């Protein structure tokens, strides 16, 4: 089957880039050097603000700079999970995502904290993590990046991601164990009955009911990525199961048989022969024009939605489609 575009899929490329590739030592060295410089004079009546919280404190949200990165991210991550939130004041999605992270961190009982980094004021931290866009969220545990994602995901996806990290790091980070002992730590998101209805319909093979259920969610929440991705999967599965099993033979025998080409591509995608399915439709785009070409293009773009946009196969197919069209 195809690979759904969940939060794990969306973060796969960024996580792979981080895994074993991010060296924190350079930024740590700069931070340590900055910390060795003489402290600036205090304001009137010593009003230079409270000192930053010590590593391992239970404060849920911390503002981090290059000068405090060593203590507040690297050293703190030896005790508790640190979620680095790369944001900027002008970033609209950041204003949606950051409050969710901050609230969840406060609910964790000290198992993890949010380290907020203003990328405009601290560009070298963003460069360290290779952030191509914001918001970018990087999980740091035991002194190393362990996972990441970019973009504003729905809260249920974020909660599942955080809980998976806490589970993976439980034996390494004492703050997670302490939080769990005190009733904090992972908190499962209550099941959404709307999704339950859709999933049950899908499992019993009632694709029309599943599609209708997801469309009702999107009528109320047009930006709900979980529902969008699930709806794409439902539509594809319904098509693939109803496709003519002889479609590939018919399509190969008669390249002008448009219905056979579309069915054959669906069957190839369902069998995970993704490149072949994409190529078939791109070749069909090259041979067609007008409404027929547009129909094939729309079918292909819908197939792209089944995968992570960063999937190499999708990126290549998009380039090939553009070449075929223009």
Strand order in the sheet with 61-63: 61-63, 112-118, 81-87, 136-141, 144-150
Choose, from 27, 62, 81, 94, the residue flagged as catalytic.
94
Quick count: other Cβ atoms within 10 Å of Cβ 235? 17
Q: Which of 261, 207, 253 is nearest to 230 (CA)?
A: 207
**202: exposed, middle or buried (Cβ count in 10 Å: 0-12, 13-18, 19+):** buried
- Is 94 noted as a catalytic residue in this protein? yes
- Is 91 noted as a catalytic residue in this protein? yes
Structure tokens at 20: 């074993």
Beta carbons of 79 and 174 less than 8 angstroms apart: yes
Quick count: other Cβ atoms within 10 Å of Cβ 289? 9
Choose, from 60, 91, 113, 125, the residue flagged as catalytic.
91
Structure tokens at 221: 């929440």
Catalytic residue annotation: 91, 94
């Amino acid at each position: 089957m195809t690979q759904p575009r969940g939060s794990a899929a969306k973060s796969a490329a960024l996580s792979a880039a981080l895994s074993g590739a991010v060296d924190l030592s350079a930024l740590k060295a700069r931070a340590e050097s900055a910390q060795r410089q003489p402290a600036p004079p205090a304001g009137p009546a010593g009003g230079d603000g409270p000192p930053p919280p010590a590593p391992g404190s239970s404060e849920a949200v911390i503002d981090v700079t290059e000068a405090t990165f060593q203590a507040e991210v690297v050293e703190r991550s030896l005790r508790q999970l640190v979620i680095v939130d790369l944001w900027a004041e002008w970033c609209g999605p950041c204003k949606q995502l950051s409050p969710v992270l901050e609230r969840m961190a406060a609910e964790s009982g000290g198992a993890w904290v949010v380290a907020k980094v203003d990328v405009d004021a601290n560009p070298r931290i963003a460069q360290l993590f290779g952030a191509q866009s914001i918001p970018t969220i990087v999980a740091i545990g035991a002194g190393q990046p362990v996972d990441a994602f970019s973009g504003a995901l729905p809260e249920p996806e974020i909660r599942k991601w955080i809980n998976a990290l806490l589970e993976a790091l439980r034996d390494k980070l004492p703050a997670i164990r302490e939080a769990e002992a005190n009733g904090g730590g992972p908190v499962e998101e209550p099941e959404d009955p709307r999704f339950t209805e859709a999933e049950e319909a899908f499992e019993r093979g009632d694709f029309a009911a599943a599609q209708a259920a997801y469309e009702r969610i999107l009528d109320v929440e047009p930006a709900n990525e979980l529902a969008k991705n699930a709806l794409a999967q439902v539509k594809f599965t319904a098509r693939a199961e109803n496709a003519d099993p002889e479609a590939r033979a018919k399509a190969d025998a008669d390249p002008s048989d448009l219905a056979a080409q579309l069915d054959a591509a669906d069957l190839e995608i369902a069998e995970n022969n993704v490149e072949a399915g994409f190529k078939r439709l791109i070749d069909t785009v090259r041979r067609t024009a007008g409404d027929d070409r547009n129909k094939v293009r729309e079918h292909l773009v819908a197939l792209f939605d089944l995968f992570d946009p960063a999937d190499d196969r999708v990126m290549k197919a998009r380039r090939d489609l553009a070449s075929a069209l223009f």
